[in-house]
């Protein structure tokens, strides 16, 4: 993932909003989504974020400003889902990125035709950006795993296989929604504290999980592996993801097969997918403690060691129903970086395909809860509140051990470092509604 002119920190757009310090969507980002104007009956279509606007790709393809491979890529990306564009692969993705960069940079000559294709971000609504065939959720943060197990067993360690392979389970596609998703507190079977037999009731331990979503591009045929050093030809980009979880149901059902009702009721993704090309300046080295198990050969490469990790900063906030009613903003819960994950995205994808499983354009992979090593870096309420025993303060006398009805969780992500332009992922927002009556 070599740097090129689209990563030049000195490059500026003719759209002033894209040049403002702290903007999520500068010229160097150019993430993709599927959108339409709020409240309209318009067809959803692909768009690219720039500053405070969405570049309507359907309009752009008719503006006579693109040609060749970039035009073909834009036509694919302008559809109601991004699947066909994802399937085209890196040469097409890069051709469109370079063409859009040229059209949006300050020195561009066709600005009026492009300006006519812009729609304000404040006036749009989104759909899930791809037709998701399969969803797989990983479990790859050692800090998160240890924090959770030690809530119950203070001296315990993760299972031996955690350090040998990226663990995962297959999730449910039908309840994946885009940012702004609202869902009812789920019912399930669990054993209440002090009881010996289970009940079927609304969960009492509603939680969130801070994750990233990895969107698959061309994929692989059944039976064919994806070598670690070729994974990035198959990954289109990354979004934010909240894999909502209910801990009382999850604990009761997870032996011996794993999550089911505890997680299949809702998963929320952010609308914007940031491409791997855009993230190239934020690659960083990945390492494993010398006295830990080292990866087997199919999960090991010098390229993964040198630049397999990504320094994506992440933050979780909570806005209670009371705070909204009183006109107050969200309270910050935690923050960390994806660079601490025990396994890289490359290792997750390579392991996923290693047994012969085919991946397809638009498939979604969750990274698993992202927690860091320090205080305040936990990616789930179960860690922050130590299983509900030490509720977290939200200010003004409000606190949480687990989530209450009306709570809205907001995930944000961004990348920044000296010598590179800050870029962001937007936000991933979801709200817990009261349980439906029996």
pLDDT for 375:
86
Q: DSSP states of 161-202 as a string?
A: GGGTS-EEEE--STTEEETTEEEEPPEEEE--TT-SS-EEEE
Query: Band of the pLDDT at 28, cuts 50, 70, 90?
Result: very high
Q: How many CB atoms lie within 10 A of CB 426?
A: 23
Q: What is the largest CA-CA distance in the chain?
A: 73
pLDDT for 155:
87
Using DSSP bridges, classify how beta strands 283-284 and 267-269 pair: parallel, antiparallel or unpaired. unpaired
Residue 284 has pLDDT above 80, yes or no: yes
pLDDT for 2:
86
- What is the three-class DSSP state of 203? coil
Using DSSP bridges, classify how beta strands 364-366 and 331-337 pair: parallel, antiparallel or unpaired. unpaired
- The runs of H, that is alpha helices, within 36-141 are 57-61, 68-77, 83-88, 90-104, 111-115
**How large is the average pLDDT for residues 329-358?**
97
Q: Position of tokens 């993760």?
A: 158
DSSP 298: G
Is 234 assigned a catalytic role?
Answer: no
> Which one of 144, 187, 234, 352 is the catalytic residue?
144
Q: Are 50 and 102 in contact (CB under 8 A)?
A: no
User: Per-residue pLDDT tens for 375-392?
Assistant: 899 999 999 999 999 999
Cis peptide before 193 (omega within 30 of 0): no
Q: Position of tokens 């409000």?
A: 398
**How large is the average pLDDT for residues 188-203?**
96
Q: Are 338 and 370 in contact (CB under 8 A)?
A: yes
pTM of the predicted model as reported, rounded to 2 decimal places:
0.97
User: Per-residue pLDDT tens for 159-176?
Assistant: 999 999 999 999 999 999
């Amino acid at each position: 993932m070599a740097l090129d002119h689209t990563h030049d920190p000195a490059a500026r757009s003719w759209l002033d909003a894209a040049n403002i310090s702290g903007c999520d969507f500068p010229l160097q980002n150019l993430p993709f989504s599927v959108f339409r104007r709020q409240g309209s009956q318009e067809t959803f279509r692909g768009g690219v974020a720039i500053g405070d606007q969405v570049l309507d790709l359907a309009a752009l393809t008719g503006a006579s400003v693109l040609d060749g491979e970039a035009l073909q890529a834009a036509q694919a990306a302008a559809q109601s889902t991004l699947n066909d564009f994802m399937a085209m692969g890196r040469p097409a993705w890069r051709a469109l990125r370079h063409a859009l960069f040229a059209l949006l940079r300050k020195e561009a000559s066709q600005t009026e035709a492009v300006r006519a294709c812009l729609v304000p971000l404040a006036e749009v609504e989104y759909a899930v950006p791809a037709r998701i065939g399969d969803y797989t959720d990983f479990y790859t943060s050692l800090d998160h795993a240890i924090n959770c197990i030690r809530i119950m067993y203070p001296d315990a360690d993760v299972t031996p296989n955690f350090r040998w392979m990226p663990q995962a389970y297959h999730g449910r596609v039908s309840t994946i929604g885009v940012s702004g998703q609202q869902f009812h507190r789920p019912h399930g079977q669990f054993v209440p504290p002090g009881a010996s037999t289970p009940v079927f009731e609304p969960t009492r331990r509603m939680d969130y999980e801070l994750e990233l979503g990895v969107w698959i591009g061309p994929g692989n045929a059944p039976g064919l592996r994806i070598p670690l050093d070729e994974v990035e030809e198959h990954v289109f980009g990354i979004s934010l993801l909240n894999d909502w979880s209910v801990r009382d149901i999850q604990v009761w059902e997870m032996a011996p097969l794993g999550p089911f009702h505890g997680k299949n009721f809702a998963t929320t993704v952010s609308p914007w997918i940031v491409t791997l090309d855009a993230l190239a300046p934020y690659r960083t080295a990945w390492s494993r403690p010398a006295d830990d198990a080292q990866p087997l050969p199919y999960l090991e490469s010098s390229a993964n060691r040198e630049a397999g990790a990504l320094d994506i900063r992440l933050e979780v906030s909570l806005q209670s129903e009371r705070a909204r009613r009183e006109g107050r903003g969200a309270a910050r819960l935690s923050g960390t970086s994806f660079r601490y994950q025990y396994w890289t995205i490359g290792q997750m994808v390579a392991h996923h395909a290693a047994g012969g499983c085919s991946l397809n354009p638009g498939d979604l992979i969750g990274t698993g809860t992202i927690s860091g090593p320090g205080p305040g870096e936990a990616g789930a309420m179960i860690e922050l509140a130590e299983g509900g025993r030490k509720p977290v303060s939200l200010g003004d006398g409000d606190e949480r051990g687990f989530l209450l009805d009306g709570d809205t969780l907001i995930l944000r992500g961004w990348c920044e470092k000296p010598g590179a332009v800050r870029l962001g992922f937007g936000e991933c927002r979801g709200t817990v509604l009261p349980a439906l009556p029996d």
